[in-house]
Amino acid sequence: MSLKHISKYTQEDLSWARSLPKVELHAHINGSVSLDDLRSLALSKNLPFPATLALPGDPGFDIKDVFTLFSSTIYGVVRDQDALRFVVGKVLDAFQADGCVYLELRTTPKKNVAMDMDEYVMVVVGAIEEWLLGRAGSQEGLMHVRLLLSVDRRHSVEQANQIVDLAVKYAPLHTCIVGVDVCGDPTVGGIRHLVPALQKVKPAALKLVVHFAEVAECPEQDELETILSLNPDRLGHCTFVPSHLMDEIIKREITMEICLSSNVVGGTVSAYERHHLIELWKERGYRNLVLCTDDRGIFLNELSHEYLIAMDILGLTKREMEEWAARCVEQYRK
């Protein structure tokens, strides 16, 4: 759908958007690898991969289908250390090719037959460090890569504690680890049980980033207030934020991660032209906004596409987009 939307842009526009130095702050590792790469990975490992999948653009595809893709297809393929290393490398290549100069990836540490959560984190960190080493001294400006460890809202207290503790333990040893994210199917349950674990994040000088008001119905009445009480550094999506809480976010100057295609393709926003970015930018004059892809492997949306779409729906010039991109780079690529 996003590709269709940008079909009115010329190849020159696309090249311009790709060449723009950009920041990506909201990208889930296993959602950012392309389905083609996953298919070839499955083939090389003799693992089943469905011939047909419910995909964005299919009639009735919605946010629930995104989570089904992860549980029923993607995690069936990305299930050992080799596969995880392969996926991280592919994702880094893709963002570098898209003109990203600061990339903050996020991933949920998983325990499976091949590794425990600690090993999962070490494989991801090792793959990032290896990728960076392989490009040190290259002609292209080296992309800065950082990592958030995600807590899934379905996690138990014990799992959440384990993930936060891993971030606290490894951040001083691996500069790429910078914080903790809260993600997961927003329709399945609240996050109140995770609060004691999440309260350890900021005192450890780590960033706290949370998926926020992604769907209309919050699983818990006071969930949004609880999240704000944790003093998060950034909020993802912010689609269904009540006006008084939006006032508060703006007053606190919290960065919002804007995922245009993810919202439209996932069906939580009915059209790009109705996206809340427009109200935030035009009516509220808010600028602490960063365009992000969320799951570029699923939504088929390069970050460059998101820039072109935002330029269109906000009626901005290329110069204004360049200034926006430059502000993001200045803020994050230190």
Q: Is 214 in the site for Zn ion (CB under 5 A)?
A: no
Q: Binding to ligand IMP (CB under 6 A): which residues in 131-150?
A: 150
Where does this chain touch ligand IMP (CB under 6 A) — which range of 24-32, 90-98, 134-142, 249-257?
24-32
Of 72 and 231, nearer to ligand IMP (C-beta) is 72
Of 150 and 321, nearer to ligand IMP (C-beta) is 150
Catalytic residue flag (residue 302): no
Secondary element (H or E) of residue 257: strand 255-258
Q: Binding to Zn ion (CB under 5 A): which residues in 287-316?
A: 294
Q: Is 30 in the site for ligand IMP (CB under 6 A)?
A: yes
Query: CA–CA distance from 243 to each of 237, 239, 246, 249, 284 (Å)?
Result: 15, 11, 5, 10, 11
Of 21 and 219, nearer to ligand IMP (C-beta) is 219
CA distance 168 to 201: 8
**Structural tokens at position 115:** 């590794």
Of 14 and 63, nearer to Zn ion (C-beta) is 63
Where does this chain touch ligand IMP (CB under 6 A) — which range of 25-33, 162-170, 305-313, 326-334?
25-33
Near ligand IMP by CB under 6 A: residue from 155, 207, 211, 296: 211
User: Which 3 state secondary structure label does DSSP give 36?
Assistant: helix
**In the β-sheet with 100-107, what is the strand arrangement from edge to edge?**
22-28, 100-107, 144-152, 177-183, 207-212, 234-237, 255-258, 289-291
Q: Is 302 in the site for ligand IMP (CB under 6 A)?
A: no
CB of 200 to ligand IMP, least distance (A): 20
CA distance 245 to 242: 6
Query: CA–CA distance from 147 to each of 59, 195, 264, 312 (Å)?
Result: 34, 21, 26, 31
CB of 115 to ligand IMP, least distance (A): 13
Near ligand IMP by CB under 6 A: residue from 56, 99, 179, 184: 184
CA distance 131 to 205: 26
Give the contacts of 31 (CB within 8 A, at least 6 positions apart).
66, 70, 74, 294, 295, 296, 297, 298
Q: Is 226 in the site for ligand IMP (CB under 6 A)?
A: no
Which of 24, 214, 257, 306 is labelled catalytic?
A: 214
Query: Which of ligand IMP, Zn ion, none is residue 127 near (CB under 5 to 8 Å by kind)?
Result: none
Of 115 and 289, nearer to Zn ion (C-beta) is 289
Tell me the catalytic residues. Answer: 214
Interface with ligand IMP (CB under 6 A) = 28-31, 66, 70, 107-108, 150, 152, 183-184, 211, 214, 262, 294-295
Interface with Zn ion (CB under 5 A) = 294
